[in-house]
Each structure stands twice: as structure tokens, then as C-alpha cells.
Structure 1
Amino acid sequence: MSIHRYGFVDYDLTAFLLSHVRPGSTVVDVGAHIGYYTMLASALVGPAGKVWSFEPTPSTLSVLRRNVDRLPNALVVPAAVWSKREELVFHDHGLGYSAYNSAFRARLPDAVRERVPSVPFTVDAVSLDEHVRAEGIDVDFVKIDAESAEAHVLEGMRDLLARRRPVISLEVGDLDVPGAPSSRELVDTLMTAGYEPWELRRGTPVPHRPRTHYVYQNLLFAPAGQWHADNTRRPDHHA
């Protein structure tokens, strides 16, 4: 609906990528869905760059592949991103609600969740650290939208956070999903790893003060000292 009405999804994150991601960068799209951010990143990084796109749901994956197959610098990985390699049980809520497919309870209001389908299926899961080592990738930017699995994604990229230290985009929002940590815990995890939190205001990163409770938004995390409030550096190795 957002693409149909406005031509984009999430103005702030879209504007940030347009102004900061540069040719030659490597971008990882965790929770790619139908590929909006994958296609945008593909255009931005150009022939010298690469986009790795992770999506586990078969029905959504088929749409993603149709969108991405014509992009030579984008590679689709048919798997969930997790803390380690294993098989997970996901729940498919149909294409209309496929953005909420997850190994956890759907992040939907109770009244909506009760009327949408929920079909269990199994998916393969991998960790980013394992994938990066296997493929020999130097990652510059990681977009994470994992529907309550963010803590597992971060656990599975500890080496990447410690060594390559890419800029991270992380979806937050507290909806009291059983088994999922609070958004503040995710923020604290990245700060403990030596990252500073930033929020987006009309696509521009500004310093973020951690909160006890979060509504939906995308936060950015950059290695401490890499960005400054008056002159943020671009999140790629060409900055």
C-alpha cells in the first residue's frame, strides 16, 4: 500500500539509504520480504557492490526472486537469519500479512491476529557470522527487520560486530511478544558492542537517547566515534 500510494516504504530509512549508501558497498538485507530495500540497495551500490538478501517464507520468496532475478549484484538466500544454523518453525499469515511471518507470535493487534491465517512451516536458519565467513564478505551496512528475532540475529553476528563493524539499521517496537526481549535490551546489546544509537529525522541521523519503551521505528547504530552530530560519516568503506 505504501509503495502504491507514495512510491516508497518508510520515508526516513529510504531517504537515509539514498543519501548515504555509495557505489561499491556491500549491503545485507535481513528480512527482505518482497525486496523493496534489496532493489533500492542494488541500485545504490552499483555493479561494483553487492546485496545479500535473506528471506525464509516460500510464498514471499517467490515474489522476491521475481523482483531480484534481473539484478546481477543482488543474491537471494532462502533462509532465516538466526543465532546459529538450525531448522525453525515459522508461521505464514498469507501474502497480505506476510510482513508479519515469524518464528514468534505475529506483531499484530489481537483482533487482527485472530482473523488472519497462521500456517506453520519449517525453514532453514543461518547466522550472519557463518554466512560471512563462508562467502568471504566485507559487510558495510546491515538492515535488520526480523519480526521479533532481532536478538537472535545480533547473537549470530557477534564476530561481524566486533571485526568488520558495519552500520546497522534495526527495527524496534515493543508489542510484548512472548519470548522476545524488549527493544531497550536490543539497544543495550549494540551499545555494549561499542555502537552508538542514532534516530532518523527526515532521513538525517541524530543522536538517540535510549528509552525504556519503544513504538515502531528504525534506529541506526554506528561504531562509537564514527559519526558526529553535525557531520555524520557515510556507512560504507568509501567514506
Structure 2
Amino acid sequence: MPLVVTLPRNATALDQAGPYPRALNFMSRKQTAVQRQLRRSGLAGYEPLTQATLMAVAHRAPEGSAVYDVGAHIGVYAALIDAVYGRRLSVHAFEPAPQTSGICAAIRDINGLGFEIVRSAVSDTPGSAELYLSLKAESSNSLNAAHRRHTESVTVPVTTLDDFTEERVALRPHLIKIDVETLEGQVLAGSLRTVQQHRPWIVLEILPSSDHESLARSLKAVTELGYGLYPIQAESPWIGRHPENYRTHVSSHGRDWLLAPEPLTYDFHRTMRTWLRAILECDERTNLELPGGSSFPAGWNAPYSLPTVPRKRSLKALVRGQRRPVPAT
């Protein structure tokens, strides 16, 4: 049964980036854990604070910048950013698992999106590695054999963000999202040249079970380059944390952090909150679930657009409009 998920309507984004689709077809309501979550709660129940942070950073990106979604799974974040900002930015989704990367490609293609899918894991050393397929859910697949119980693994290629960026000399990464199930420190370690040269914003999942020895080293290296380290939360302004004591603020509930290359401003928080309000409007009641074989209703993904506002006339024009012709005598 197809699942259509409504996208958040943000007038500021429409004004900056132009019209974008009002919904995306995620194809199935139960094939993966992520699709099941979207069916139950829409985008409002799928890490809304992280979504809003990513969209706020993407909104600020210079035209022609790149976005890296590392650990993209079926590509929810890549699809959302590409749907709204794809005319201005290039989006690259890294997903090594054959099944989920295949679903990601199908979702991209059926919605006519243009983001690139890189079927590779990301770490600190290029080559190949075993990806362990979790018994809990495919969203918990990891290069870390100890992360979840598993019955099988698959050999996948591995790249680093430094290598990927240097091979694509035209890329200027502005935003990197990292969700790799406990090995975030290794991904950061393999991106330090990119961080130093391009100074991207980084949204990073940190789990209680992460490899904190590696992660602490990488966070220290990034903060020494002038980055701030902020837990993502609903309240603002966010409070920066020091890499030496970040673990005291890690929990299973608030898992995502922002590594910011510059101080956070009121404008950033306002943009993030605007996106958050729009995302929270997109709950399960706004989903469209179609019985198999049914036709999609007309206009299901018609683009949002700004309402037409009458152009303001200058005072001089208003005065001219009030003048009456002098009657002939």
C-alpha cells in the first residue's frame, strides 16, 4: 500500500528557493522501520528537531553548496532537502546496505528527485569492510559487529569524506549529517581536511554506546578548529558543551548534536523554530495511504507556492491615481 507523506510548508523557504512539492511518495507503509514510523506519525514523529536543524542549515547554504547525508537509510533527509532546496544545492546520500540503498533509489526516482546515492560506507580509512545486518531493524545496521545482534553481514566498499570531496573537486560541502550507529568518531576523523577547508555544519548522532574513545579525539580536533558543540533541543538558545565532558549530556532520547563553525545567532534559531512548527503540522493525519492499485488523487504533490500579494504602489503613483482630469471649458 503506497504511503504519501505531506511535506512542511514554509513560506520563507518558498520565498528563497521557489515552489516545492507538497508531498512525497514513500512507496510502502511497512517495508522498513522508517516507513512504519512515517505511517504512524508522519514527519512530525520522525526526529522533528533534527529535521528542523538540517533544514535551517540548508536554508543558509550558499547556492551551489553540497549536502552529505552519511548513513542515509532510505533517504528521508536527502529527499526532504532535495525536494525543497535541490535547485540550489547538490545532495549526496551515503548508504552501504544493498536493500535500503535500493529503496532509497526507488523513492528518489518515483518522486523525480535528483540527489546522488553513494552505495558506500564512510569511515576513517578507505577500502572495504563488513556491514553487520541488525536483527532489531535495518536502521541499526553497522560496521560495528558489537552494536546489535546479527545473523549475517555483507562486504561493502568504504570511503572517507576527505577522499570523496577531493575526488569531486567542484564540491563545496556546507552540511554533513552523520548517523552511522556508534562509529561517528571514525567518520569525523576521515573528514578533518574537509572540515578545515570548507567548514561545513555537521549534524551528528551520538549514542550512549558510541566508540567514545575515538569520538572524543575527533570532537577535540573539530572544536580546536573553532567549532561549537551543541545538543539539539527544543529550547533556545542552545548551550555549547566542551568535548571533554560531552558524555554527561548524551542520552538515548536527545541523540543528535550540532557542530557549528560559527556562533549560533538569533536568526538561526528563528529559522530552525519556523521549520519545526511547519514539520509538527505534518502528522499522521496529513498522510495519504492508498489501497493497492488505487490511483493517486489529482494534485497530490502539486507544488506549494506563495500567495499572490498585490504589488505595493509608491506614494507618487498613488497620488497620480487620485488625480482627476480637469473638465474642458
TM-score normalised per structure 1: 0.82
CA distance in 2, matches of 1:53, 1:208: 28
Q: Determine which structure has the larger helix proportion and give its number.
A: 2
Aligned partner of 2:75: which letter? G
> What's the counterpart of residue 14 of structure 1?
51
Are residues 1:91 and 2:132 paired? Answer: yes
Aligned to 2:90: 50
Aligned-pair RMSD on alpha carbons? 2.5
Among 163, 166, 174, which residue is 1:130 paired with? 163
User: Secondary structure of 1:206's partner?
Assistant: coil
| Offset of residue 204 of structure 1 | 5.6
SS of 2:247's partner is: coil
Aligned partners of 2:145, 2:251: CA distance in 1, in Å?
Answer: 17
State the partner residue of 1:173.
Answer: 207
**Identical residues among aligned pairs (%):** 25
Rg larger in 1 or in 2? 2
Alignment of 1:20-35 (within 5 A): 20-22=57-59, 24=63, 25-35=65-75
User: Which of these residues, 209, 227, 233, is aligned with residue 263 of structure 2?
Assistant: 227
Match of 1:41, SS state, is helix
Give the residue type in structure 2 aligned to 1:160.
Answer: T
Q: Does 1:149 align with 2:183?
A: yes
Which residue of structure 2 aligns with residue 218 of structure 1? 256
- Gapped regions of structure 1 (runs ≥ 5): none
Moved over 4 A (4+): 182-186
Select between 122-131 and 187-196 the one with higher mean Cα deviation: 187-196
- CA drift of 1:118 comes to 2.5
Measure the CA separation in 1 of the matches of 2:188 and 2:237.
21
- Any unmatched runs of 5+ in structure 2? 1-35, 273-329
- The Cα offsets for residues 88-122 of structure 1, whole Å up to 9 and x where unpaired, read as 0111126x6111111103545xxxx3xxx421210
What TM-score, normalized by structure 2, do the two folds share?
A: 0.61
SS of corresponding position for 1:21: helix
Mark the CA change 1:228 to 1:48 in structure 2 (over 3 Å): closer, same or farther.
closer
CA deviation after TM superposition for structure 1 residue 47, in Å: 1.7
